[in-house]
Amino acid sequence: MTAEIKKGPFLGIRHLQALLIFITITCVYVGRLNVGVSVVAMTNAESTNPDFPEYDWTNGQKSLVLSSFYWGYIITQFIGGYLCKQFGVKKVMFWATISSGVCSAVTPPLIKWGGWGAYCGIRVVMGFAQGVIFPCIHQHLARWSPPQERNRLGALSHTGIECGNVLSMFMSGMIAKGPMGWPGISYISAVFAFTSGILWFIFAANNATESRFIGETERDYIESTLQHDENYHKVIIPIPWRAIWTSAPFLAVLVTRCAENWGLSTLQAEIPEYMNGVLGMDIEDNALFSALPFLAMWVMSYVYLITSDILLTKKYMSLTAIRKTLNSLAFWVPAATLIGIGFLDVDQKTLAIVLMTLSVGFNSGSTIGSSLNSIDLSPNHASILMGIINTASNIVPIITPLVAGAIVSDGTDRTEWQIVFIISAVIFFVFNCIFLIFGTAVVQPWDAEDFLLGKQPELAKTPAISDESDTKKSISG
């Protein structure tokens, strides 16, 4: 008989950390994604509150606004990986979230002052602030999640993406139609960001040894399952750059995430315009039906989570098989439905909404399928891997609105939208094949703490700001 493992409370502080990540992702995504509905509201006063200014922006200018967030976002991905290693996830995440909230708060007066150019500028700054967040999240999950719970905690926390999508689509339209008008979209987003930042500051901790809320049993359980030496939290492990860049599994997940961002960013940025132009919906209906696909995505994310948890717990499938299966569903079903969407017009609104809902709903499987895969490959370098992946994959959302803007000169022309959707479908199909061939959920040899330390021990150094004293206090307390 095996001894029972003591894990602490049924819902412990590790679960609280996952909840904090969920809340943070939800709130920053509201600020990130409300631009799709906001641009429609600002340029079409007839379908929103007419008491606020309307702007006559060209399709090209609107495309620049839609893509501008990612100009700043890609710059700080690498920086985010280093910052959270040097200063800890808690501080970096707090300041990033608060800064994002400030950007939302100042957006309406800046637009009134400088028009679409000012809107682009503040979106770049917001992207710069949010760029550090996901590298921090992946390091936080790696430090707080026992390996056997990592898939569950990671998937639960990442459902904030779907929640943020739903809230940004649904709430933005309702706010724009109401007494606050389109400026209210940014003000409400700022409140969300400030609230999540305060919660993070109070309850988050860089690791289990630093948390002042965690019990001894849960702390020992987490630290023992991570199987690292006692100085792990006090040194920075050198990064095996050559091994990372020559790793086929890592390169496979890298290109797969680029493909995911192409398809999803096309839907996120273009759904409001497509429904307004081709399907002839006003801003209120647009917000409701634009939110439906992402509501399905949110619901489906829990279906995927429960299914994968059962398959993994019962040992029906390996983690690698689960990742590849769910990623295939997340890519190939949307590939088929996107092609179908391109052949529909104003007389087939219901079918178009159904296909969009299926497309985005099934796509939620990519979180478990490939997004969390970087933590599988290297828990020790999760923030660095995520920095690389997010840098590359978030160049894509800069390109997709520009490509759509170049192709769609007439927003009411169904044939032009066909090309946009077919391109996304082909990318979904091809790059999932690459993931099926080269992907894996097995920890790579270059993740080992001594992979480079044995050869170059001088590369290990004490972090710029040491939390050693705080760690001793939390252990003794």
pLDDT for the residue 465: 40
| Contact (Cβ atoms closer than 8 angstroms) between residue 88 and residue 467 | yes
Which has the closest alpha carbon to 423: 259, 276, 312?
259
Q: CB 4: neighbour CB atoms within 10 A?
A: 6
DSSP 401-419: HHHHHHH-SSTT-HHHHHH
How is residue 444 written in tokens?
């790579």
Let me know if residue 5 belongs to a domain. no
Query: Which regions of 353-465 does DSSP assign to beta strands (E)?
Result: none
Let me know if residue 7 belongs to a domain. no
Give the predicted TM-score (pTM) of the model.
Answer: 0.78
Q: In whole angstroms, give the CA distance from residue 110 to residue 438.
A: 47
DSSP state of 461: B
CA distances 440 to 196, 329, 368, Å, are 34, 17, 13
Cα 75 vs. chain centroid, distance in angstroms? 16
Mean pLDDT to the nearest integer, 129-154? 88
Q: Is the pLDDT of residue 368 over 50?
A: yes
Mean pLDDT estimate for the chain: 82
DSSP 44-87: -GGGS-TTS------HHHHHHHHHHHHHHHTTTHHHHHHHHHHH
| Contact (Cβ atoms closer than 8 angstroms) between residue 252 and residue 258 | no
Q: Is the pLDDT of residue 124 over 70?
A: yes
Cα 33 vs. chain centroid, distance in angstroms? 11
- Write the CB contacts of 458 (distance below 8 Å, at least 6 apart in sequence): none
Place of tokens 């052949």: 343
pLDDT for the residue 235: 61
pLDDT digits (tens, 9 = 90+) for 49-77: 677 788 888 878 888 888 888 888 888 88
pLDDT for the residue 23: 95
Cα separation of the two ends of the chain? 34
Which has the closest alpha carbon to 446: 385, 389, 363, 369?
385
Q: CB 114: neighbour CB atoms within 10 A?
A: 13
- Write the CB contacts of 328 (distance below 8 Å, at least 6 apart in sequence): 369, 432, 436
| Least reliable range by pLDDT among 67-76, 111-120, 161-170 | 161-170
| Contact (Cβ atoms closer than 8 angstroms) between residue 389 and residue 249 | no
pLDDT for the residue 461: 41
pLDDT digits (tens, 9 = 90+) for 416-465: 888 888 888 899 999 999 999 999 999 899 887 777 765 444 443 444 44
For residue 97, the enclosing domain spans 13-476
How is residue 383 written in tokens?
């923030």
pLDDT for the residue 231: 54
Higher pLDDT, 92 or 476: 92
Q: Is the pLDDT of residue 282 over 50?
A: yes
Which has the closest alpha carbon to 189: 79, 36, 14?
36
The residues that bridge with 461 in the sheet, in sequence order, are 236
Say which CATH number the domain at 432 has: 1.20.1250.20
Q: CB 179: neighbour CB atoms within 10 A?
A: 8
The residues that bridge with 236 in the sheet, in sequence order, are 461
Cα 359 vs. chain centroid, distance in angstroms? 18
Report how many domains make up the chain.
1
pLDDT for the residue 471: 39
| Contact (Cβ atoms closer than 8 angstroms) between residue 42 and residue 283 | no
Let me know if residue 2 belongs to a domain. no
